[in-house]
A and B are shown apart, each in its own frame.
Chain A
Amino acid sequence: MLIILAKQEDEIAAWLAHRWQSHNAVLVSAADLSTSGWSLHLASPGKSRACVGGRDIRNEEINGVVTRIPRVGSEDLEHIVSSDRRYVAAEMTAFLLAWLSSLACPVLNRPTPSCLGGPIWRDEEWVHLASRLGIPVIPVRRKTPDDVPLPEVESACAVTVVGEACLGNAAEPLIKNARKLAKAAGTDLLSVRFTGSEADSAFVSASVWPNLSSPETADTVLQCLLEKSVC
Chain B
Amino acid sequence: MLVLLWGLDGDSPLSEVRDQLNLLDVPTKFVDQRRVLETEIELVVGETVEGCIRIGNDNIDLGEVSAMYVRCYESARLPEIAATGPDSAAKQHAIQVDDILACWSELTSALVVNRFTASAANGSKPYQLEQIRGLGWGVPETLITTDADEARAFWKYHGEVIYKSVSGVRSRVSRLRAEHADRFADLSSCPTQFQQYIAGVDYRVHVVDDKVFACEVRCSADDYRYPENGAPDIRACTFTPDLEEKCRRMGAAMNLPLAGIDLRRTPQGEWYCFEVNPSPAFTYYEQITGQPISQAVALLLANAAPEYMPEARHGAASGSGRCGIKG
Contact = CB atoms under 8 A, between A and B. Distances in A.
B176 interface: no
Contacts of A131: 45-47
Interface in B155-190: 165-170, 187-190
A127 to B, nearest CB: 5
Interface string A112-145: 1110000000101101110110000111111111
B138 to A, nearest CB: 11
A131 B49 CA distance: 11
B245 to A, nearest CB: 25
Contacts of B324: 141, 143
A140 B46 contact: yes
Contacts of A36: 146-148, 187-188
Interface stretch (A92-100, A154-162, A223-231): A92-100
A114 B120 contact: yes
Interface of B: 40-47, 49, 93, 96-97, 99-100, 103, 106-107, 116-117, 120-121, 123-127, 129-130, 133, 139, 141-148, 150, 165-170, 187-192, 313-316, 324-325
Given A42-B139, A141-B43, 4 more contacts: A90-B165, A97-B124, A98-B127, A113-B117
Contacts of B166: 91, 94-95, 98
Contacts, number: 175
Contacts of A132: 314-316
10 contacts: A36-B188, A86-B169, A93-B123, A95-B126, A114-B117, A122-B103, A124-B45, A128-B45, A141-B324, A144-B93
Nearest to B192: A91
A87 interface: yes
A12 interface: no
A24 interface: no
Nearest to B49: A128
Contacts of B124: 93-95, 97-98, 113
Most buried by B among A92, A95, A122: A95
A43 B148 CA distance: 19
B42 A90 contact: no
Contacts of A88: 189-190
A92 B190 contact: yes
A101 B127 CA distance: 8
A65 to B, nearest CB: 16
